[in-house]
Amino acid sequence: MAQTHFGYENVDESEKAGRVRRVFDSVASRYDLMNDLMSMGLHRVWKHYTVTVANVREGERVLDIAGGTGDLARAFAKKVGPRGTVVLSDINQAMLGAGRDRLLDAGVVLPTVACDAEKLPFADASFDLVSVAFGLRNMTHKEAALAEMCRVLRPGGRLLVLEFSKVAAPLAKPYDWYSFNVIPLIGRLVAKDADSYRYLAESIRMHPDQNALKAMMKGAGFGHVDVHNLAAGVVALHAGIKC
């Protein structure tokens, strides 16, 4: 059986999705509060930047993958207007349920689809833009997921991958200290789950860095890929064009 990593642990590939599901089942109800606390609100700035770069126009068709509680989907829905479509998707029912409730509370009704990014249930070339924020890191076969994202985009369509990445060297030590001490502590106090937040810190270290992810996107069929470092590389936005 092929092996992969779940944080710093080596696991059978067949185990990873179940372990990831348990993480998000456990944190779904506290997910938004935890994001604000851990990032000191910065995740809102990173997502706002992503929506700006996306430059979505009225009438466009957008798919938000691993959309969780729906921050990006909600912002895109405003941009595409009533003639456009935004689909909120995620593999996890608890996250998707929290997202759908939150959107409904805000008066936003979007199609919501439970699906695995590695096997998307959409026809070829059905979207103008696909986004995935802080989701790719959790997927078992990242190349397969990126190839699926490429398949469902029309030629010339854009993929935006917002994800933790490799921080600039001078910040590495304080960032490690914060990640392995403060984040699991906040997780224990607020979400009653330190382990899931230790997994978060470990999974960030195991994720491909800026150049490796750019190469993976090119390999998946994105002819042009731009990389935008945010917060000194704590996070990077990869913007690819299917061409």
Ligand X SMILES: C[S@@+](CC[C@H](N)C(=O)[O-])C[C@H]1O[C@@H](n2cnc3c(N)ncnc32)[C@H](O)[C@@H]1O
**What is the contact surface with ligand X in residues (CB under 6 A)?**
20, 24, 65-69, 71, 90-92, 95, 116-118, 133-135, 138-139
* Alpha-carbon gap, residue 68 to 27, rounded angstroms: 11
Cβ–Cβ under 8 Å, residues 86 and 108: no
- Sequence-distant (6+) residues with CB within 8 A of 93 are 114
Query: How near is the Cβ of 213 to ligand X at its closest, in Å?
Result: 16
Query: How near is the Cβ of 170 to ligand X at its closest, in Å?
Result: 27
Cβ–Cβ under 8 Å, residues 134 and 164: yes
Question: By C-beta, is 85 or 131 nearer to ligand X?
Answer: 131
Query: How near is the Cβ of 221 to ligand X at its closest, in Å?
Result: 19
Question: By C-beta, is 91 or 129 nearer to ligand X?
Answer: 91
Question: By C-beta, is 106 or 156 nearer to ligand X?
Answer: 106
CB-count exposure of residue 42 (10 Å: 0-12, 13-18, 19+)? middle
Question: By C-beta, is 133 or 237 nearer to ligand X?
Answer: 133
Query: How near is the Cβ of 95 to ligand X at its closest, in Å?
Result: 4
Residue of this chain nearest to ligand X (CB atom): 68
Question: By C-beta, is 58 or 236 nearer to ligand X?
Answer: 236
Query: How near is the Cβ of 133 to ligand X at its closest, in Å?
Result: 3
Instruction: DSSP letter for 88, please.
Output: E
* Alpha-carbon gap, residue 72 to 82, rounded angstroms: 17
- Phi and psi at 60, nearest 5°, equal -75, 160
Cβ–Cβ under 8 Å, residues 135 and 105: no
Q: And the tokens for 37?
A: 């606390």
Question: By C-beta, is 13 or 169 nearer to ligand X?
Answer: 13
Query: How near is the Cβ of 31 to ligand X at its closest, in Å?
Result: 7
Distances in Å between the alpha carbon of 160 and those of 149, 186, 203?
10, 29, 20
